[in-house]
Every structure is written in C-alpha cells, then in structure tokens.
Amino acid sequence: MIEFRQDRPRWEQVADVIRERIAAGVYRPGSRVPSENDLMQEFGIARMTAHKVMRALRQEGTIYTVRGLGSFVSQPSNAKPSDEKGSST
Amino acid sequence: MIEFRQDRPRWEQVADVIRERIAAGVYRPGSRVPSENDLMQEFGIARMTAHKVMRALRQEGTIYTVRGLGSFVSQPSNAKPSDEKGSST
DNA sequence: AGATATTTGTTCGTATGTATC
DNA sequence: GGATACATACGAACAAATATC
C-alpha cells in the first residue's frame, strides 16, 4: 500500500509510481503495464482515477494503449511496437 | 468561444446557448445534445458547471438524460421518440 | 457462430475541498 | 455566509474491442 499525500492529486502520485517502475525496468518496453482494474486493486483508487493515470502517461508518450487489450510501455525510441526488424545499420 | 458576462452565472449562460440551439433546430427532438465533457471543451468550463447546465435543462423538461448514454432533446409533445407516424387527424 | 470474460472508452450522478465574490 | 466555479475523487452504467472457450 502507498501513503497518499494530501498536497498532490492521487492520480499524479500513482502515475509517479508507474513511471518509476518503468525507469527501474520493472515494466519493460513493449510489455504490458497493470490494467486499470489492477491499479484500482493495488492502490485502492476508483476506476476513473486509474483511467486518469493512464491518460496522463499516454499523453507523455510513456505508454500506448490498445482498447480491449491494455496499455504497454512505449519503446525508448520512436519506433512503433511492431516496427523494428533489426534494421540497425 | 463565448464571452461570459460577469453579472450572471456561467451555467445559466451556457444553458441559454443550448436552449437557443434546440429552438433553432441545431439539436432536434430525440437526438443527443453535447455531453458534459463536450460542454467542458467548447465553453471552457468545469465538469460540475456543465452538469449544472444539464440539470437545469432537465428540470425544465427541455432534455432528458440516460446515465452512461447522454442527454437528449425532449419531444415537443409527450410522444415517445419513435411514436409519430404522421397520424395528424 | 455464439457466449463469456477482460479491458479500455465514455457517459452521467454525487460528494468534498478550495477559492472567490 | 451563501452562491458560483474549479479540481479532485468515488460510484454506476453503457459501449466497443479483444481474446478465449
């Protein structure tokens, strides 16, 4: 469980945690991040709040989302998820 | 964008606009009116303010609302949306 | 093909806290 | 203090996309 501060919105604080985990390699590029439902359970927040978290991360470009599937960590570069074929030359 | 006057509440002024559009036929009976989210964007107001707008219009009978769907222009008469077949006599 | 489960997208309903007038 | 207005947050319902059985 996490201790929410009073001086900042919950959705920002949760977004921070996800960002940190991505930076730490807990969630790696291309892999799925927790669903909104997962965030609800883990952080004890409402779904709309979890949705707000994901929207913020998406707008940053940190993650991308596919409806019906979930959200995934963006590639460090700008390559699209299935767009890298080892053409590294 | 609309110029808000200082001497009257914003939610009243926005309600006026919606009422005018309905009268002008921009939003016709049975069709959907902008969502609260739409109003937020178009008028640059908070969601609670947008909600207040819709509540006022609802209490007048101008619109009716279905949660999860949206709000719709009421029929001029009391007929149901798909109940008029030109039976005018 | 159909039913079900999961997941995100969007809508309205409501309450609280803060700031302003 | 009351009315207005904003942001945050939780709840509930409807909708669409995806995957599985």
CATH of the domain at A18: 1.10.10.10
Residue B81 has pLDDT above 60, yes or no: no
* B10 CB-side CA count, 13 A: 15
Give the protein-side footprint of strand C (Cβ within 7 Å). Answer: A 35-38, 47-48, 51, 54-55, 58, 65-71; B 35-38, 47-48, 51, 54-55, 58, 65-71
- Residue B4, Cβ density class (10 Å: 0-12 exposed, 13-18 middle, ≥19 buried): middle
| pLDDT in the model for residue B32 | 97
Res. A88 pLDDT band, cuts 50 70 90: very low
Range name among A2-6, B56-60, B70-74, B83-87 with the lowest pLDDT average: B83-87
Residue B13 has pLDDT above 50, yes or no: yes
User: Which nucleotides of strand D are protein-proximal, with an atom < 7 A from a CB?
Assistant: 3-19
Over the stretch A13-58, which tens digit does the pLDDT of each residue have?
999 999 999 999 999 999 999 999 999 999 999 999 999 999 999 9
Q: From the C1' of C15, which residue's alpha carbon is nearest?
A: B48
Residues 14-43 of B with CB under 7 A from strand D: none
Range name among A1-5, A25-29, A64-68 with the lowest pLDDT average: A1-5
Residue B66, classed as helix, strand or coil, is: strand
Residue B77 φ/ψ, nearest 5 degrees: -90, -150
Q: Cα separation of A39 and A48, whole Å?
A: 11
**Residue B14 CB: number of other CB atoms within 10 A?**
24
| pLDDT in the model for residue B51 | 98
Range of the domain at B21: 10-75
Answer whether residue A1 is part of any domain. no
Query: Which residues make beta-bridge pairs with B66?
Result: B70
Residue B40 has pLDDT above 90, yes or no: yes
Answer whether residue A81 is part of any domain. no
Q: Cα separation of A79 and A20, whole Å?
A: 22
Q: CA A86, C1' C10: Å apart?
A: 39
Report how many domains make up chain A: 1
| pLDDT in the model for residue B76 | 84
Within 8 A by CB and 6+ apart from B20, the residues are none
Residue B21 has pLDDT above 90, yes or no: yes
Q: CA A8, C1' C5: Å apart?
A: 35
Answer whether residue A21 is part of any domain. yes
